[in-house]
Amino acid sequence: MPRTRSTTAAAKSTETAKAVEPEELVPDDPNEMEYEIEYEEVEEEVEEEEEVIEEVEELEEEEEETVPVNGSNTGDKYSSTENHQSKEQAELLALPPHGSEIYVGSIPYDASEVELRSFCESVGEVTEVRMMKGRDSLENKGYAFVTYKTKELATKAIEELNNTDFKGKKVKCSMSQAKHRLYVGNIPRNWTEDDLKRVVTTIGPGVNKVNLIKDPQNFPRNRGYAFIEYYNHACAEYSRKIMSSENFKFDSNIPTVSWADPRNGDSPSSTQVKSIYVKNLPKDVTEEQLKKLFEQHGEITKVVLPPAKSGHEKRYGFVHFKERSMAMKALKSTEKYEIDGMELKPTVALRALLAGGIAVFAKVGTAMKAAGGLKVGAAAAAVSAAATAAVSGAKQESEAPKPK
State pLDDT tens for residues 264-297: 444 444 445 688 888 888 888 889 988 888 988 8
Which is more confident, 43 or 323?
323
CA dist 256 and 230 (Å) reads 17
Grade residue 313 by pLDDT with cuts at 50, 70 and 90. Answer: confident
Give all strands of the β-sheet with 222-230 in edge-to-edge order: 207-214, 222-230, 181-185, 256-259
pLDDT digits (tens, 9 = 90+) for 135-169: 777 788 999 999 999 999 999 999 999 999 999 99
- At the topology level, CATH places domain 1-97+180-263 in Alpha-Beta Plaits (3.30.70)
CATH number listed for the domain at residues 100-175:
3.30.70.330
In this prediction, residue 59 carries a pLDDT of: 44
pLDDT at 401 over 70: no
In this prediction, residue 341 carries a pLDDT of: 78
Query: Nearest to residue 244, comparing CAs of 61, 12, 31?
Result: 12
Element (H, E) at 274: none
pLDDT at 344 over 60: yes
- The terminus-to-terminus CA distance of the chain in angstroms comes to 33
pLDDT at 327 over 70: yes
Percentage of the chain lying above the pLDDT 70 cut: 62
In this prediction, residue 175 carries a pLDDT of: 92
Give the residue-averaged pLDDT of 66-84: 48
pLDDT at 31 over 60: no
Q: Which CATH number fits domain 269-395: 3.40.720.10, 3.30.70.330, 2.60.40.10, 3.40.50.10860?
A: 3.30.70.330
**Which residues have a Cβ under 8 Å from the Cβ of 250 and sit 6 or more positions away?**
2, 4, 186, 187, 188, 191, 196, 199
pLDDT digits (tens, 9 = 90+) for 216-247: 888 789 999 999 999 999 999 999 999 999 89
Which is more confident, 125 or 380?
125
pLDDT at 8 over 70: no
Which is more confident, 197 or 331?
197
In this prediction, residue 161 carries a pLDDT of: 96
Which is more confident, 234 or 377?
234
Q: Do domains 1-97+180-263 and 269-395 have the same CATH topology?
A: yes
In this prediction, residue 186 carries a pLDDT of: 94
Give the residue-averaged pLDDT of 301-316: 82
Give the domain ranges of the chain.
1-97+180-263, 100-175, 269-395
Which is more confident, 286 or 70?
286
The mean predicted confidence, pLDDT, of the chain is: 73
Which is more confident, 345 or 152?
152
pLDDT at 108 over 80: yes
Are 306 and 317 in contact by the 8 Å Cβ rule? The answer is yes
Grade residue 3 by pLDDT with cuts at 50, 70 and 90. Answer: low
Query: Nearest to residue 145, comparing CAs of 101, 81, 191?
Result: 101
- Between the ranges 247-256, 283-292, 312-321, where is the mean pLDDT highest? 247-256
Could you tell me the CA-to-CA distances from 304 to 42, 94, 280, 298, 354 in Å, in that order?
A: 45, 49, 15, 17, 17
395-399 CB contacts, 8 Å cutoff, 24+ apart: 395/351, 397/225, 398/264, 398/265, 399/183, 399/227, 399/260, 399/261, 399/264, 399/265
pLDDT digits (tens, 9 = 90+) for 253-262: 999 999 987 6
Residue 265 DSSP class: S
3-class SS at 72? coil
Query: Nearest to residue 95, comparing CAs of 150, 176, 50?
Result: 150
